[in-house]
A and B are shown apart, each in its own frame.
Chain A
Amino acid sequence: MQPIITVSQLTKTYASGFQALKGIDLQIRRGEIFALLGPNGAGKTTLISIICGIVNASGGTVTADGHDIVRDFRAARQKIGLVPQELTTDAFESVWATVNFSRGLFGKPRDPALVEKILRELSLWEKKDSRIMQLSGGMKRRVMIAKALSHEPSILFLDEPSAGVDVELRRTLWSFMSDLHRKGTTVVLTTHYLEEAQDLCERIAIIDKGQVKVIETTQQLLDRQAFRFLRLKLGNGGVLPEALRPLVSEEKNGVTELRLERERHPIAGVFAALRAAGLDIDDVHTREPDLEDIFIELTGRQPAAAAGAAP
């Protein structure tokens, strides 16, 4: 199937001389949930700003549903809805007015029934006559989503949808995005919350310093790591056999974590060694490496939000 977004050799150098994108190539498949993951300043926002027509590229091409975003900008932009990172909208307007305005700007005739449906789905219907300045941050975020959906785009971009929102709203947004995805909308989000990408997205592109480091399905990415963790709690004050000592990655509160390379240390071997030593096992579980481990491996740094992501 033809990809819904094709980005080829995309570059962007700002007037300041800063090279934000250094030849990005990526394709987004129709109907998937796709994450652009990367540390702050990696170029994620620049990339989606170019796709959405807000920023001019320095080189390369982008097509949205087969339409070149420059030559066929009208058709391309019709397909795209964007929820920008900043909560900027007309503070003095009512929710109702601003969502209808967005629809009109996209050249679509008024459709009060559709706008009502969108507002109800986002739990904004009761607030439709409120001025935007009177709303909480979370509600403003939802107004931005309503605006982005008002012209019925087939691709929805969300730039850092979870930045600065509380856990509850984040969960609500995730389930909303999953719903949209089920209904056939392609959803692309930028995030530096690894958990978000891991739970929600089918494929992930990791971007760093203006380049795509890797594009893979979430599972492939997670499988990349050639190791996994085994956590053991030994019964009757048992002591780990010397042979397994070199594999220990962590010991805490009587729980021992072993880092096992998939090829060299099959789990069955560990159990055989424990049995041979006559040890009782009280508790055991395995932990697969998460995106954070992979992210650090690929970019060589901690994701900026990793610390802040903990609720």
Chain B
Amino acid sequence: MSEGEMQPRPPSQGQLAPGDEHLAHFSDRVGFFTLTQKEIKRFWSVLGQTVTAPVITALLYLLVFAQAMQGRAPVYPGVSYTQFLVPGLVMMTVIQNAFANSSSSLTQSKIMGNLVFLLMAPLGAWEWFAAYVAAALVRAALVATVMLLVALPFVHLPIHAPLALLTMFLLSGGSLAVLGLIAGIVANKFDHLAAFTNFIITPLSFLSGVFYSVHALPGFWYTASHFNPFFYMIDGFRYGFFGQADVPIGVSIAWASACLLLLTAICMWMLKTGYKLRR
């Protein structure tokens, strides 16, 4: 078997010749699908917690803020405050749920001890990574879809750039799913995870322009917002609906992509070296 041969083989053969397998080499499709399915099943069996609850929370925000801010001047020409609010809330929920899914799943496996079955499996870092991210994206997509379906009868939402919408969803949901994976690897107990959520995810998502345009902010906060990746995720997502946003869509896509790349690099390093997993 030549050193250079890197072609994935059908896993059903069960035998992999030495020399053609590397941690960073995605070749185990059956393993990947098995794990993805399992991860989806995990949140699917508790939909009340994993989908219904976050949708209701987000809709309550919508109800309260839409009522309180009724009659304010439109944020963008032709876009009412309620219209402005919906995409931001959807993206905020996507961010929080993508993170929650991969982080809590991994931490739970660690605490329950059944992580050992993943560690002993011949899964490479990429299969492991892809399965957790895919499952988190499915949950995020479900939450987003349900929210939009519930909001649509009350709020008219144009879709200006569907491709931008999808891109922003994948980049942002993906980033947070990866961050969740990192948090799950680092956390030794649910306390650590709660700290991660309460001190990083929640503040950053609330201070990201979900409820307002950053142009309405005083100087310091206006500048600070531009260092918050969540701001670009939400702003870019909003662009997909209205064709207008606080920053150009290219900038948002660049920030979200950079975020995803950086987090993926960190996460893959952890998975490949077994950081905090294989001690």
Residues of A within 8 A of B114 (CB): 88-90
Report the minimal beta-carbon distance from B256 to chain A, rounded to whole angstroms.
32
Residues of B within 8 A of A105 (CB): 31, 34-35, 117-118, 121, 123
Contact A53 B38 (CB under 8 A): no
Mark contacts of A67-105 with chain B using CB atoms, 8 A cut-off: 1 yes-contact digit, 0 otherwise: 110011111111010101010111110000000011011
Contact A77 B279 (CB under 8 A): no
Residue of B nearest to A50 (CB): B278
Q: CA–CA, A56 to B277, complex, Å?
A: 9
Contact B11 A77 (CB under 8 A): no
Contact B14 A72 (CB under 8 A): no
Residue of B nearest to A14 (CB): B279
Residue of A nearest to B12 (CB): A109
Pick out which of these stretches binds chain A: B15-23, B52-60, B62-70, B146-154.
B15-23
Chain A CB within 8 A of B33 CB: yes
Q: CA–CA, A52 to B33, complex, Å?
A: 22
Contact B119 A101 (CB under 8 A): no
Q: CA–CA, A73 to B124, complex, Å?
A: 9
Q: CA–CA, A54 to B114, complex, Å?
A: 12
Chain A CB within 8 A of B216 CB: no
Report the minimal beta-carbon distance from A72 to chain B, rounded to whole angstroms.
5
Chain B CB within 8 A of A15 CB: yes
Residue of A nearest to B27 (CB): A74
Q: CA–CA, A143 to B150, complex, Å?
A: 44
For B279, give its contact among A56, A76, A90, A92 (CB under 8 Å): A56
Contact A53 B18 (CB under 8 A): no
Mark contacts of B30-58 with chain A using CB atoms, 8 A cut-off: 1 yes-contact digit, 0 otherwise: 11011101100000010000000000000
Residues of A within 8 A of B112 (CB): 88, 90-91
Given that A74-B122, A101-B38, A108-B11 are contacting pairs, would A84 and B16 also be in contact in the complex, using a CB cutoff of 8 Å?
no
Number of interface residues of B (CB under 8 A): 37
Given that A88-B116, A105-B117 are contacting pairs, would A54 and B122 also be in contact in the complex, using a CB cutoff of 8 Å?
no
For B18, give its contact among A66, A86, A107 (CB under 8 Å): A66
Residue of B nearest to A46 (CB): B279
Contact B31 A88 (CB under 8 A): no
Report the minimal beta-carbon distance from A46 to chain B, rounded to whole angstroms.
10
Chain A CB within 8 A of B200 CB: no
Give A contacts to B, CB under 8 Å: 14-15, 52-56, 66-68, 71-78, 80, 82, 84, 86, 88-92, 101-102, 104-109, 147, 152
Give B contacts to A, CB under 8 Å: 11-12, 14-19, 21, 23, 27-31, 33-35, 37-38, 45, 112-114, 116-124, 273-274, 278-279
| Top-4 shortest CB links A-B | A104-B34, A88-B113, A107-B11, A77-B122
Please name 28 pairs of A and B residues whose Cβ atoms are closer than 8 Å in the assembled complex, sorted by A.
A14-B279, A54-B278, A55-B278, A56-B278, A56-B279, A72-B16, A72-B19, A73-B21, A74-B122, A75-B15, A75-B17, A75-B122, A78-B122, A82-B120, A90-B112, A101-B38, A104-B34, A104-B35, A105-B117, A105-B118, A105-B123, A106-B122, A107-B11, A107-B28, A108-B30, A109-B12, A109-B30, A152-B14
